[in-house]
Structure 1
Amino acid sequence: MLEEILQIYPQLRLQKNEGSYYRLGDDFNNGVMSCGFMRKEKGIDSEKNLQLQFYSCFLLLSGEGVYRDKQGNEYRLQPGSLVQRFPYEVHTTEVESEDWLEFFVNFGKSSFDYLQGMNMLPTKTPVRTCIITQDVIQYLIFELENLKKARVEELPIFLLELQKMVIQLHNNSITNTQCKQDAAILKAKNVLASDLEKDIPLESLAQDIGMSYENFRKVFRETQGVSPMQYRTSQRIHQAELMILSGVSIKETAILVGYADSYGFSRQFKKTTGISPAAYRSVKTSM
């Protein structure tokens, strides 16, 4: 699959270091936000016993290496490895090949703490395997280009986009060998977590992933514990929480996550979280 992607995006073979770097506020470790492509040289760019004070993750697109966590557990890295570096945790990344190319995403510790507190990031293991597809590469390139053009007043929204990017990559990842059915469900989850302002016909989605509509609904519920639409609703509400805490108005948030009016959005938000959007903002900002 990676070779096919490189044929479609030949510029990735020669991709140089290219990223976008910003900071919100005066506290770097809480305000850092960046993403981009990075090449590393064998041996020279290995990072031993490194300790970051912010959250960082990368998706390895090319190359091989080793990652060691704070307990000394060793993980082999190869194309598709999705690696998390948690704040204040010592770790080592060894670059073992000359063709190393990664796409990295960094954001502040406070953002990481929030996502972890909401169980929106899987932190039990620092390394997972992401399914690299053409859509994934398009998504990374698109978000990088948008962030490079961001105005200062737009940075809070782009901070949300970086968090969403990490969540999307994890939604597209696995921790063990998967069968064809698992891959189909992962693809469906990725679609259901995207373009939240749009309506997605489940019949068309089932057809796109090669499953019958009834079987898709049955397998999704059995493997995920919720129906496809319940999963999409949860993704909408998670995104809404981030927007509300970033200062986006409740009315605008409702539109951006796919609700026709604030009333319907507020009713669903309260049904999901147990609290209204206005009360949620008040409680969280006063903590």
Structure 2
Amino acid sequence: MDKIKKQDGFMSQLLIVLPDHILEAYAAHPLIRPLYITDIGYFPHAQHHYRERPTGSESYIILYCIEGEGWIRLAGQKQQTMQKGALIVIPAHTPHEYASSEDHPWTIYWFHMKGEQVGDYFEGIDEHTSPTPVSVEHSSQIIKLFQDSYNLLQKGYSLDRIIYVSQLAGHLAAFIRFNLQHPHLALNRQKKHDVEESLQYMTEHLDKNVTLQELADQAKLSVPHYTHVFKKTTGYSPIDYYLRLKIQRACQYLDLTEQSMKEISIQLGFQDPYYFSRLFKKIMGKSPSAYRNTRKG
């Protein structure tokens, strides 16, 4: 029996393909012409996802895997694994195929980009490119840029919105370019190791309420030193970042499950649902219920 293959149609997916007549009308605008998004999507737990383009795409394609894994093949070369936390840029007109793992389906964000300067942003990327890891702190920025772009486009394709999204696309492309060219940039390898280990510890204990002292002990640093290193690396204090990870996980539960706000808050270690709701609104700019309605709208 042939394997099931799906291009889209995944539960809770987000997908926008800008109509050709909209792109034709706006692509010549001086603020859009350099770089713009043509398609944008989010496929959660995308079992059986498969895509093949024998002649490539007219756009540059960005794939970012946040959960599970899959594989990708460029220009008929060796198949490469795409694991959690990996990002790849597929150059325009490059034959390719990619698919989600059958056993551990990936969750991916993806973008299609065009424009006069798109090749300049991704200079040096060709059919020999490989998936590149993205750090935890950079991951949240990519997801935020996706969410901002998607939410703007979901409200309509006015010129002002397309201009705004084009500027977000430029920010995203520049961010990815920097990440690809400086994959090992860090203030200090040992400090980065301490912080990465701490971030992993946080993500594994989102159902608890770890203290600053516990985090410092886990990193084998004093509380003042740990706090200084963490904030210098991520831009946030340890507990603030920990709470943001909880809210990021809450967003996933709101997107992918039918759990109540109370169930989600308890699952993430918040015994007071009202505090959870206030914190969610402070970080995300809207209540959990408003977020759930917007994301599934």
Give the TM-score taking structure 1 as reference length: 0.49
Calculate the TM-score normalised by the size of structure 2: 0.47
